[in-house]
Structure 1
Amino acid sequence: EVEEGLRRRGIAVSDDQLRSMLGELDANKDRRISASEFDAFCDKRRANIKQVFRDVDADGDGQIDSKELRRGVERAGLKISDEQLRAAFKRMDLDRDGRLSFDEFESTLMLLPHGANPEAVFDAFAHRAFVDDPDGGETIGTAKKLASGGVAGAVSRSATAPIDRIKTIMQAGRLPSSGGIAPVAGAAARAVWHEGGWRAFWRGNGANVAKVVPETATKYVAFDILKRQLATDPGNATVLERFAAGGMAGAAAQTVVYPLEIVKTRVSLSAGGCSMATVIAGVLRTEGTRGLFKGLTPSLVGIFPYAGIDLMANSVLKDALAAKYAEVGRDPGVAELLGCGMASSTSAMLVTYPLNLVRTRLQASGMPGQPTYSGPVECAGKILAKEGFAGLYRGLVPNLAKVLPATSVSYAVYDVLSSWQRRKGED
């Protein structure tokens, strides 16, 4: 009867495991299990399971999400696939709320015999029957995420504003492309210096910060929300689910702040300097509301793969780091977080840079000294005809010098602030 009951619960046992379990259950050795003996067995098991539950529940909120379960499994030295983990979590999550209560966790482990193959348990959940040989919080709230993302974006963009202005001037094609990258970048830097000394290198940074604070904050929050909506198991989202969530989050954030992107580019390219209000008034007067969204199409075409690759890669890399450092009982350091940001942002930028350049040319279209384009197709065609394929990557080197530290600092600041807020909340 015990063996049959275990099999109905999806637990296959060997003869040795069954004898061992019966020995634990049958306290008086009469070869029958009374209700009191079963209760005593469950009480003893429950104490052990509570300790395991506390160990796996990393944030101590009384619930286990799939990410915590993954880390707990890996700390135990078990190797299971994402498919097995998702299936196991779904099977254990009886109320389908995306988190495991102690009762749900206990229900799964209570009658698991000592010596059972844990990897096979997960495989059984994945296939809804044992196939092995038995003998063989929300960690922080939305407002806090907005604050962390906003501060992270402002710090990173301000730190790299001089490089960003040089990159924008090179992308706009205002300087001759001959002579190599270093001479052109040097000429741009000298031109900026002659405009107004060191302060001129931060021209347009006000618009950049005004743009990037809501953009970065919205991107992070939207990514979390979309991942929960799109992923079958948000704590253990697949690579494709992360890509889709990241792309849509980036597109939404870019659309919301795009008028400020126009302002930032035009202020950066203005030799004498002008206010944000002056630029907006001028665009509305000469081009209408549509002028504030000039270049949005290539921007959205580019931002989806950029944000998708960036956030997907960063999320995957951070999860891998978290699992590795969970083994030694600590979180990844700032250096590791910077490495994740650099790797993810570089991959995304190399893929989408030509669209970024076309967007900048369209944003500057019609300004004094700048050509006018009817749309992204004409713009890209003229760049290829005049400058060749290399023209689509003009300004890449300063962009690398700017984007890598900017994105890395942004991710690192965001994670440090989020961790601080979680600890503060626990206190």
Structure 2
Amino acid sequence: MFRFLRGALLPGAACQEANNNSSRYENLFKKLDLNEDGRVDIAELHVGLKALGIPLGRDAEEKIFKTGDSNKDGQLDFEEFMQYLKDHEKKMKLAFKSLDKNNDGKIEASEIVESLKLLGINISEQQAEKILQSIDADGTMSVDWNEWRDHFLFNPATDIEEIIRYWKHSTVLDIGDSLTIPDEFTEEEKKSGQWWRQLLSGGVAGAVSRTGTAPLDRLKVMMQVHSSKSNKMNISNGLKQMVKEGGIRSLWRGNGVNVIKIAPETAVKFWAYEQYKKLFANEDGKIGTVERFVSGSLAGATAQTSIYPMEVLKTRLAVGKTGQYSGMFDCARKILKREGLTAFYKGYVPNILGIIPYAGIDLAVYEALKTAWLDHYASDSANPGVFVLLGCGTVSSTCGQLASYPLALIRTRMQAQALLEGAPQLNMVGLFQRIIANEGILGLYRGIGPNFMKVLPAVSISYVVYEKMKQNLGIA
């Protein structure tokens, strides 16, 4: 959307030398100062940029104001406006130089491929050419500094990692299965404290999302444990049985533990991911796609190990009858007294094994969908937009679940076996063989219906709450 900047926004001025920057800024400021009072407020910036063919969106416009409004009066005078653009151009210059590998003053497709690969993002040269086309104003299939500067003049990104952040795997999605790759933050975000605000936003979004879809989650667990060929439980009669047995409130049984475990799991996952990345980084401190995937999988396994007893408690509470447990601590005390400490790690092996197919397929499908979008639909911009990314994330997470679901079902049954009277206490292999023998392959997918039903509302709730939380914490 910035490709019109040179011709429509800065006619003549964009081609001037650096020593005429002040005149260029003044010309631009006049175009945005709609009431000609010598100041630009956020409403003028929004209307002015939209009129000039650069609709940034409210988040980006607020970020510009937050950075440029030095006296915090809610307006940008010409001095503040010029200082913001000067500082921003310096950052964009560093980003340009980081892409210009051969230092010839131009960015070409091969250099984009090489640079993104160092950041763990693999694209083809044809895809890189499409990115170039969205910036290239003179049709040379290379981008010089003037083209780069004008394209990103109002993009509030501050470095190359932020510029290509929209191609990273979305970390907003929370579908309640705790298997996603950890969040990744730039050094600037870590120093500024923005990282914990984003993690907090994601945690609150996850809590609201899980609470909103808790009835479907409990129904899934009940179908995983109790449904069989002889005891068919579908979505309708399953919900009726739960309400009849424990009332409406019973639909949320086990949700408290599911929400509480978000905070420790996120914290451990984030910490472990940083440590594993350092372990696998090369001499320059860079980490590739494979290393990032391995680091993420190991971090997920580490986090799951640390909070796994809470997974067992969640399952026992969800499957338990009304009055069987008075709460999470009562459940833990009874399990410890009757079954011992090892009971808190029943189903641990299939749970850990499920991380690899889930994460691998999730990331592979996500990359394939992004590539397809870039190949077929990218024209004026290489940015797919939030709804495309949400769509990619939803489909890829669903595919990951489909691959790992049998292991998740076996994990849940192992966690709940002690509650089933007369049921043998089988290990992972024995339980797998028993399900195949008695119920066939479909038996490994009991409960997948409500599991899929909760994906779309979970993603939608999670995204909306995440964005609202970011706004409230000042990081939108």
- Normalised by the shorter chain, which TM-score bucket? 0.5 to 0.7
**Are 2:372 and 1:342 equivalent residues in the alignment?**
no
The letter of the residue matching 1:199 is R
Unpaired segments ≥5 residues, structure 2: 1-16, 25-83, 101-105, 120-137, 145-185
Q: In the alignment, which of 208, 226, 251 is matched to residue 201 of structure 1?
A: 251
- TM-score where L is the length of structure 1: 0.62
Q: CA offset at residue 195 of structure 1? A: 1.8
Q: Secondary structure at the match of 1:80?
A: helix
Q: CA offset at residue 401 of structure 1? A: 1.3
1:265: which partner in 2? 315
2:305: which partner in 1? 255
Q: Counterparts in 2 of 1:23-422, with a 5 A limit?
A: 54=88, 57=91, 64=95, 79-80=109-110, 84-85=114-115, 118=142, 138=187, 139=189, 141=193, 142-172=195-225, 174-177=226-229, 184-216=234-266, 218-219=268-269, 222-223=272-273, 226-227=276-277, 230=280, 238-273=288-323, 274=325, 275-310=327-362, 332-333=385-386, 335-369=387-421, 371-407=423-459, 409-410=461-462, 413-414=465-466, 417=469, 421=473
Distance 2:396 2:336 in 1: 37
Whether contact under 8 Å (1:365, 1:371) holds in the other structure is yes
Whether contact under 8 Å (1:250, 1:304) holds in the other structure is no
Q: CA offset at residue 389 of structure 1? A: 1.1
Distance 1:56 1:318 in 2: 31
Q: CA offset at residue 348 of structure 1? A: 0.9
The letter of the residue matching 1:249 is A
Q: How many corresponding residue pairs? A: 331
Distance 1:410 1:309 in 2: 22
Structure 1 or 2: more helix by fraction: 1
Instruction: Flag the 1:117–1:307 CA change in 2: closer, same or farther, 3 A.
Output: closer
Distance 1:144 1:395 in 2: 35
Whether contact under 8 Å (1:154, 1:212) holds in the other structure is yes
Distance 2:285 2:379 in 1: 16
Residues 72-121 of structure 1: CA deviation (Å, up to 9, x unaligned)? xxxx99533665226899xxxxxxxxxxxxxxxxxxxxxxxx9998589x
Distance 2:294 2:473 in 1: 28
Unpaired segments ≥5 residues, structure 1: 1-41, 71-75, 90-113, 121-136
Q: Secondary structure at the match of 2:411?
A: helix
Q: CA offset at residue 54 of structure 1? A: 3.2
Larger radius of gyration: 1
The letter of the residue matching 1:144 is R
Q: CA offset at residue 393 of structure 1? A: 1.0
Cα RMSD of the aligned pairs, angstroms, is: 4.7
